[in-house]
Structures are given as C-alpha cells and as structure tokens.
Chains A and B, each alone.
Chain A
C-alpha cells in the first residue's frame, strides 16, 4: 500500500538520478576501456581493463598532484578553523572597544568575491617571492570572513554559564577557548571544515596562475594538463580524471552530513 504510493517517487527519482550521474558514468566507462574499445557503444566496457589507469599513473605524477591538493586543502582548512575560532572567541567572549566594528569588517569582507582579487593578489604574491610555492597556494586563504562570521554566530548561541564556570575555576581565556569553546563548537567546525576543504580542493584559477613547475601543480590543474597532452586518448584522460575525483568523492560519502550542513550554512555566501 505504502510502496504503491511511493512507486512514482522511486521511478522519477531513479530516472532523474541516472540522468544526472550519466556523464560521470560514461567517464568511468571510458576509463576502463582499451583504446580500441573507446568508441564501442554501450555503457559497460566490452573488455574492462585497468590499463588506462596504469598508463595515467606512469605517464603523469598523479600521486604528487593529489598530494599537493591534499596538503594545500588540509593546510587551508586547519588555518581557517584556527584563525576563525580565535577571532570568533574574541568577538564573543572578550570585551574591547571596536569589537562591533571588527565584526562589521568581517561581514563586509564576506561581500568581496575572491575571484576578482586574483590579479592584484597575484602581483602581491609575486613581490613576496611566493610564486610556485605552497605559501602562495595556502597562506592567502588561511583566514575566512565566512569562518569568522559562522563561528561568531555559533559561539553566541552557547550558554554563558559554561564560560562563567570556567572563569570561576580560574581558567584563562586560552584555557576557556581550548576546553570549552573548542569542544562545544565541534558541529560548526565540522561544517566549516567540509566547506573550506572542498572549496580549496576545487580552486582552479588561482593554482593555474601561481604554479609554474609540474611538481607544484594541484590535481585540478593536472587534469587540464593531461587533457592537453592526450589529445585523442580519452581513456587515459578519463582515468586521470577519475583518480582526481576519488578523494573528494570518498570524503563526501564519508562526511555527507558535514558537507550538507556546511553548504546550507555557507549558502549565505556561496
């Protein structure tokens, strides 16, 4: 009875989901085909092979590209979590002149679209001598107005009593931050971490302009490189792209809740 009522939903959702995922499925299919089978019709490869993966891995330092992306995304995420929590703590638990103005500045900076400042940022990073280094890929993004904003709003919802109790026990602000604010804001930090990690992993324009040598390129730029090198060998291109997709896909499947919450919260900014 209930199943019968749900049947149209199941059918429609399945058909729609299939169509949405189809471009990824055909990519996966191409990555499992030998060059001779590349244009054979059908979604399933006629003679599945891992040869394209072997070739992609032997012709390109894909592990290095992925490691670069992982290092950069992890460093930026940790940086954003630390700087945002510190600032948010001061903006909620410390009293000083100009506090509201500083929060206002963070809100105003929310409006600054990062993509548009890439040109002067490039010139600045060039002057600092950071071109083609990890510093260029990480340091400018280690503070996030969105992070400060979200965590400040979150800390404000925590009951005063916890902090008062800590202060009565003689805790310093550092200790209150470490033992009260940090554990209590775990859900907000998780959402912010997911949002920051995927945003950094997805950066394209910035790594494209600040990396010069092969060894410094991130996975995304590597995809562009492989696509240009392998003009007609789409199976190798597809294998490379699938290898670049895997880490984010796995992270998404493992931490879907944090991702969804992060995007729902960060939707304010986008």
Chain B
C-alpha cells in the first residue's frame, strides 16, 4: 500500500511549499521569541551604553569580566547553589514518601493521590501567601507547633540566617505534587515479579525497599532530582512575594539578581551577562538530563 502511494506522489521528496503553512506558526514564533532574544542577550552582553546615553559601544567580554569580578555576583551564585541543595533532597524525600504511599492501588488510593498531587494546582503566589501566614510571627501555626514542643519561636523569614532555608522548604513543598507524580510513575515501572521473588525468599519490607526498590528507582530519582535542581535555579515568585531577596540580600539568588540589576539598578548589559551565565549553567544541566534520558530510552528499547 505504502509503495503504491509513494509512486503516486504522497511520499515524494519535495513538499516544501505545502509544509510551510504547517511549520510557519510554530517556527516563526520560535525564531522571533526564543532564538532572537537569546542572540540579543548575547549582543547586549558584549556592548555597553556610552557615558552620554544613546550609543552602544563594543566592550567584548568586558561585561562578563565585570560581573565575575563582583563579590555580589559570587554571593548570589553561592546562595543559588545552597538553595538548590536545600530544595532538591527535601523535595525528593517528600515526593518519594508520597509516591510510596500511592503507587499501588488500594481502596481509597485516588483520594490520597489527589491530596498528594494537589500542590501542582497551587499557583506560586498562593503557595507563598499560605506559607507567609503559616509562618506568621503571631498567628502562624509553625511557631505554635514549636511552642507545643516547648521550643522558642523562630524568625523564619526575617532572619538572614534562616530566610533562604525557609524559602527552600516552601519551594520543596510547592514541588511535592510534581515530584510525587513523576516518582509514582517511576515506581509503577518497577516489575512486580522482582519484588514478589524477594518476598518469597523471605526479604523484609525494609530489605526490599533498600535492596530492590531504591536501586531500581535510582535512575529515575537522579533524573527527577536534576529536574528539581533546574526548577529551583529559576525560582522567583515565592522569593519576590516573601522576602524581596532580603533580609540583607540573604535570599538574593541568581535570577533575582538579574531582575534587580535589570529593573532597579538599570544595568541592562550587566544583567544580560548575568542572565547568560545562568543560562549556561542551566544549559549544561539540561544537556546532562537529555543525555541521561537518551541513555535510559536506549536501555528500555
């Protein structure tokens, strides 16, 4: 059949003009709003406005040199790393616990799935406000729960030593639904027979979890962990709503620094250079993720 059609011209080599109207909407938008801005960011980062305004002069890598020489930049980069290191393990652990509780069917599982996956439906701003109230110095439950345990109240968002970690917990909480969904799918892909065989051999639930489930899940865990890191590197809304990068710049993460430098300090070329450097980091992580997915698909095939 296909052969006949091919001779009739369906599969002929040249259909470029009939393909164009199909491709133009998507690829036109890609070109205009994705490729062009990246190129422009590159162009911007290589120029600087001259002292008296309008013109721009070529400064080569000057902006990058200046950014890399600023202690604030390195402070932000370090804060971002710290933030990711708080968010990723916490979100993975919380998501894994949720996934373990709902990946197998039992009466009522749909109810718990809904509750565990719920945070995917909570907009960032709402999550931030909910936590803002939860952590409220007077009315918040967090300090009340601490008081119940006989512990002193904590300045969750107002102490420079604590704010970044608190924001990390909030970010992990907001991501639980996302992580739980991906890990539930990962757990469901582990062949049941392997676990049954281990049960027959007399393995305890703990042994089964640590010796079989966890090793078999580890590629998925790593991949999801990478995704969580990628997301946490561009977390913005909750920081903007709750701390504005403070107190004392203690939550001024990389992406917030770009925003601050571009829209408040009006240092667009420097901000563009900062954005491109962040872009580079994200690109490397995303490429790693792709390579891993490719390898896993290869294994599965």
The chain A residues found within 8 Å of chain B, CB to CB, are 6, 9-10, 12-13, 16-17, 20-24, 26-27, 30, 38-39, 41, 82-84, 86-87, 89-91, 94-97, 99, 102, 105-106, 109-113, 115-124, 139-143, 145, 147-148, 160-161, 164, 167-168, 173, 177, 198, 201-202, 204-205, 208-209, 219-221, 223-224, 227, 234, 237-238, 241-242, 244-245, 248-249, 251-253, 256, 259-260, 263-264, 267-268, 270
Asked whether A256 lies within 8 Å of B26 as measured between CB atoms, the reply is no
Please name the 7 residue pairs, one residue from A and one from B, whose CB atoms are nearest each other, closest first.
Answer: A252-B121, A204-B237, A143-B29, A90-B22, A120-B37, A223-B125, A87-B26
Asked whether B29 lies within 8 Å of A90 as measured between CB atoms, the reply is no
- Bound CA span A259–B122, Å: 13
CB-CB < 8 A to B53: which residues of A? none
**Chain A CB within 8 A of B176 CB:** yes
- Bound CA span A205–B111, Å: 33
**Chain A CB within 8 A of B106 CB:** yes
CB-CB < 8 A to B182: which residues of A? 263-264, 267
Min C-beta distance of A120 to chain B, whole Å? 4
**Chain A CB within 8 A of B67 CB:** no
**Chain A CB within 8 A of B1 CB:** yes
Asked whether B279 lies within 8 Å of A116 as measured between CB atoms, the reply is yes
CB-CB < 8 A to B240: which residues of A? 204-205, 208, 224
Among residues of B, the one whose C-beta sits closest to the C-beta of A84 is B26
CB-CB < 8 A to B123: which residues of A? 201-202, 219-220, 223, 244-245, 248
Interface residues of B in 4-44 (CB under 8 A from A): 5, 10-16, 18-19, 21-23, 25-30, 32-38, 40-41, 44
**Chain A CB within 8 A of B151 CB:** no
CB-CB < 8 A to B248: which residues of A? none
**Chain A CB within 8 A of B266 CB:** no
CB-CB < 8 A to A27: which residues of B? 126, 129-130, 133-134
Asked whether B106 lies within 8 Å of A6 as measured between CB atoms, the reply is yes
Asked whether B101 lies within 8 Å of A120 as measured between CB atoms, the reply is no
Q: Interface size of B by Cβ–Cβ distance < 8 Å?
A: 101
Interface residues of B in 217-268 (CB under 8 A from A): 224, 227, 230-231, 234, 236-237, 240-241, 255, 258-259, 262-263, 268
Q: What are 19 residue pairs bridging A and B, where the CB atoms are less than 8 Å apart in the complex?
A: A23-B130, A23-B173, A24-B118, A26-B141, A87-B26, A94-B18, A97-B13, A118-B275, A120-B36, A142-B29, A148-B26, A198-B120, A244-B126, A245-B123, A249-B122, A256-B113, A259-B117, A263-B181, A264-B181
With most chain B CB atoms within 10 A of its CB, the pick from A115, A221, A253, A259 is A115
Among residues of A, the one whose C-beta sits closest to the C-beta of B8 is A167
Among residues of B, the one whose C-beta sits closest to the C-beta of A99 is B19
CB-CB < 8 A to A224: which residues of B? 125, 240-241
CB-CB < 8 A to A220: which residues of B? 123-125, 237
Asked whether B134 lies within 8 Å of A23 as measured between CB atoms, the reply is yes
- Bound CA span A65–B290, Å: 38
- Bound CA span A87–B25, Å: 8
CB-CB < 8 A to B185: which residues of A? 264, 267
Residues 123-139 of chain B, each 1 if its beta carbon lies under 8 Å from chain A, else 0: 11111111111101011
CB-CB < 8 A to B156: which residues of A? none
**Chain A CB within 8 A of B83 CB:** no
Min C-beta distance of A85 to chain B, whole Å? 9
